[in-house]
Structure 1
Amino acid sequence: MMTVEKKPGSPRIKWKALAAACMALLIILLLPPQEGLPESGQRALAVLAFSIVIWVTEAVTYPVSAAFIIVLLTVLLGFSPQPDEGGMIGTKTALEWALSGFSSGAVALVAGALFLSAAMQETGLDRRLALTVLTKVGTTVKGILFGVILVGILLSLFIPSPTARVGAMIPIVMGMISAFGLSKNSRISTLLMLAVAHTATIWSIGIKTATPQNMVGLNFIEKAFPYPITWLQWFLVAAPLSLVMSIALYFVLLLLIRPEIKEIPTKKDAIKKQLRDLGSMSASQIRLLIISFAALAMWATEKSVHSFDSTTIVLLLVSIILAPGIGVLTWEVAEKKIPWGTIILFAAGISLGTVLLNTKGASWLAKIIFQSFGLSHLPLLILLSILAGFTILIHIGFASATSLASTLIPVVIAFVKGMELTNAMQGMGIVLITQFAIGFGFILPVNAPQNMLAYGTGSVKTGDFIKTGVILTLVGYGVILLFSLTYWKWIGLLP
C-alpha cells in the first residue's frame, strides 16, 4: 500500500471534519424549496453551513477555508437565479459578489493597521512601552498585576491585533518570572499570563481598531444603518464596558488564582534591568512613536476636527511607515511579519455576509431563528439579554471571533430590519451590542488565538481559563444588561 509522506510543517487536515462540512453543504442544497427563500439564498445558506463546520472544527486553516468559501459562492451562485427572479446570476456576477469583501474599506483598515503592528514588533517599541509602564508599578504582586493589565490596555491603543499584543507581552512576562526566580508553573505565573490574555480580549471590545472582528461588524452595520461610527464614538460607547471588566479582572484573578507570596523578595529591579538592556530609544522607535500618537490623535478627532475616515488615516500612516528615509519598515520585513491569511479570511467573511444579505438568505434565517419565537415583540432588555446570551454561548464553539462576526451580524441585522422599531438608531444599538458580545472569548483556550498563545507557555491550564473565564463572562453579561438600562440609554444608543 502506498503511503503519503507528510512534509514537516505541512498543515494538518481533519478529514472527518471536512467530510462533515461537505455533508452539511449537500444537505441544505438538497432540501426542498423553502417559502420566502430564493434559490440563491438557499445556496448561500449552504455555504454558510459549510463555513461554520469548517471554522468550528478547524478542519483546514483559515486562509484555506477562505479559498473554499470564495469558490463555492462563485460556482453555486453562478448557476442559480437572481433573488428577484430576473434571470441567472452568472459566474461573472457571482465572482464579483464572492470577492466583494476584498474591496471593502474595512479590509484596507485592518491590513493597514497590521502594518503598524509589524512596525511595532520590528522596532521593539511595543516591548519598550510595556517595560516602561511595568517599571512604575512596584514589586508587589498586586502592583505587577495592575501593571500587566495597564500595559495590555496601552498596547490595545497601538496594536490592532490581540494575538500580536499577547505575543509581545509573553516574552516580557516570562522574562520577569525567570528573573524573579519563579517557576513557570507558579500561581504568580498563571496569574500574570491570564491577565495578559484576558486583557487583550477585554479591550478588543472597547477599542474600535483593537481587533479585526470589529471591522467585520462595522462593515455590515454602516451599510445597514445611516450612522457612521467614528473611533471616538466607539470608544465612548464600548470603553466603559471594557474598563468595568478590567477592574473585575483584577479582583477575579486575585481571588481565584491566589499568589504564593504578596511581594517579590529578590531582584526587585529585574524589570528595570530589562529596560536598561534595551539601551536608549532608537531613531526608528522615536519616529514610530510620533506616527502612532498621530494615528491616535487623528482617529480620536475623526469627523470633528477633520473629515478623514479611519481607513484613510491608517493608509496614510502606512505610506509614511514604508516611505524611504523617514519610514521604519521595509516591504521585505512586512511580508514576513504580517499575517496575510488573517486578511484573506477577513475579506472572505465579509463577502459571505454580504451575499447572505443580498440573496435574502440572512433575512430568511433571522425569521426562522428569531421572529418565529416571537423575539421581535419582546421588551428591549429581554431581547438584548437573549441576543447577548445566545452570542456568548455559540462563541464557545468558535475559535475565531472574526468568523463568528461574519456569520452572526448579517443575520442579526436582517432580524432587526424586520422589527417594528421607532428609529434606525435603536436597531443599530441592538446590533452593536451583539457585536460587543461576540468579543467574549474567555472560557476556553480555543476560544481565541491569544488564549492559545498564553496556554502554550505552560503557565496556564484549561481549568484556569474555565474558572476565571466563566466569572468574567457572567460579569460582562451583567454589565451589558446594566449599561442597556442606564449608560447606553443616557448617551442615546438605546431608547
Structure 2
Amino acid sequence: LLLAAGVVYLTYRPFEVGRRTEDGQGKHGGGTDDRERTVEDGRLGAEASPVASLRPQAGPELRATAILLGVSALWLSDSWHGLDPAVPALIGAILMITPGIGVLTWPDVERGVGGSMIFVIASSLSLAHAVVGTGAAAWLGAWLVAGLSPFAGSPLLLVVLLVAVSLVARVLLSSIVAYLTVLIPVVTALAEAIGLNPLVCGLLVTLAGDSVVYFVAQSASSLMPFEYGYLTAADVLRLGVVMSVVVFVVALGVAIPYWTLVGQPLLLPAR
C-alpha cells in the first residue's frame, strides 16, 4: 500500500495529467480531437507532455521521497532492530496520509490505489502459508520425486521437465511469493534425491517463476498499468507465452553452462 501510494503520487501528481476519456477512443485512433481530450486542458504536444511539465522538486515530492527512503532503510536494517516488515510499511503509510507531513489524503488513496492489488497480494500470501502448513507442499514433493525419478539418467531432460513443471505451477500460483514458498523446498529435496545440484535446481525454479507472468493478477507491477488502461489481459498473456520460450532457451543455453563455469554443475559429484 505504501509503495503503491508513493508511486501514484510521484508519477501523476507533479505532471497534472488529466483523466482519460470514458469512450477510450484516444488510444486507438479517433483523430487529433480524441488525443486532445486525454488531458484536462485539451492541449497536445510539448505543452501537455509530462516531460515538458517537469519542475524542480517541491516540498511534497521531497517529503514523499524521504518517507519512502526511510521505510526502505528500516526494511534493509531489519537484522538490527528486529521489526516485522509490516511495521515499517504501516509507519510509512500512516506518514503518507498524516496532515502536514504526508502528501496524500484518504480520497487520494481510494482513487489512486487499486483495492484489487492489495487483495491479490494478501490472498497469495495466505495461500502460501496454507500450502506449507497443511502438508500440501510435502505431498507435491513426493509426487514430483515419483514422477521424475525415472528420468534421473537424463539430466537435460530433467531440466526441461523441471522448467515445464515450474511454468505450470506459475499459472496456478498467482503470487511469486507463494510460488517460491511452495516450490523451492520441494525442488531442492527432489534434486538431492535424484543426484542433481539443489542450488542449480532452485535457481532454475526462480528463473522460470520470476521471468514469466501469464495473468495481470500475478504481478503487482502489472496491476497498476492494467488499472490505468495501459495494458490488457491479452497483452500480458502474449508476453508470458513468449517469455516461456525464452526461459527454456536461457536455462539450457546460458544459465546451466554459466553455473557450471563458476563451480555449480547440474550433476552432483559421485560420492
Normalising by the smaller structure, the TM-score range is 0.5 to 0.7
- Between the aligned partners of 1:491 and 1:270, the Cα distance in structure 2 is 55
Question: In the alignment, what sits opposite 2:63?
Answer: 287
2:226 to 434, 437, 453: 453
The one-letter code of the counterpart of 1:475 is V
1:2-401 aligned within 5 A: 114-121=1-8, 123=9, 125-127=10-12, 270=45, 273-275=48-50, 276-277=52-53, 281-295=57-71, 298=73, 302=76, 311=85, 313-374=88-149, 377=152, 382-393=157-168, 395=170, 401=174
The one-letter code of the counterpart of 1:401 is S
- Between the aligned partners of 1:483 and 1:387, the Cα distance in structure 2 is 14
Is the 8 Å Cα contact of residues 128 and 182 (structure 2) preserved in structure 1? yes
Is the 8 Å Cα contact of residues 455 and 461 (structure 1) preserved in structure 2? no
- Between the aligned partners of 1:447 and 1:303, the Cα distance in structure 2 is 28
CA RMSD of aligned residues (A): 5.2
For structure 1, the residue ranges without an aligned partner over 5 or more in a row are: 1-113, 132-167, 185-268
The one-letter code of the counterpart of 2:134 is T
Is the 8 Å Cα contact of residues 176 and 271 (structure 1) preserved in structure 2? no
Question: In the alignment, what sits opposite 2:201?
Answer: 430
* Helix, strand or coil at the partner of 2:49: helix
Residues 335/304 of structure 1: CA separation in 2 closer, same or farther (3 Å cut): closer
Is the 8 Å Cα contact of residues 118 and 338 (structure 1) preserved in structure 2? yes
Is the 8 Å Cα contact of residues 213 and 237 (structure 2) preserved in structure 1? yes
The one-letter code of the counterpart of 1:420 is E
* Helix, strand or coil at the partner of 2:76: coil
- Between the aligned partners of 2:98 and 2:211, the Cα distance in structure 1 is 38
Is the 8 Å Cα contact of residues 349 and 406 (structure 1) preserved in structure 2? yes
Q: Does 1:477 align with 2:251?
A: no
Q: Between Structure 1 and Structure 2, how many residues are aligned?
A: 245
Is the 8 Å Cα contact of residues 295 and 313 (structure 1) preserved in structure 2? yes
For structure 2, the residue ranges without an aligned partner over 5 or more in a row are: 36-43
- Between the aligned partners of 1:310 and 1:491, the Cα distance in structure 2 is 36
Shift of 1:341: 4.5
Is the 8 Å Cα contact of residues 117 and 217 (structure 2) preserved in structure 1? no
Residues 380/271 of structure 1: CA separation in 2 closer, same or farther (3 Å cut): farther
Shift of 1:119: 3.2
Is the 8 Å Cα contact of residues 125 and 177 (structure 2) preserved in structure 1? no
* Helix, strand or coil at the partner of 1:288: helix
Bigger proportion of residues as helix:
1
Shift of 1:126: 1.5
Question: In the alignment, what sits opposite 1:13?
Answer: none
Shift of 1:410: 1.7
Shift of 1:285: 1.6
The one-letter code of the counterpart of 2:178 is S
Is the 8 Å Cα contact of residues 2 and 89 (structure 2) preserved in structure 1? no
Residues 339/303 of structure 1: CA separation in 2 closer, same or farther (3 Å cut): same
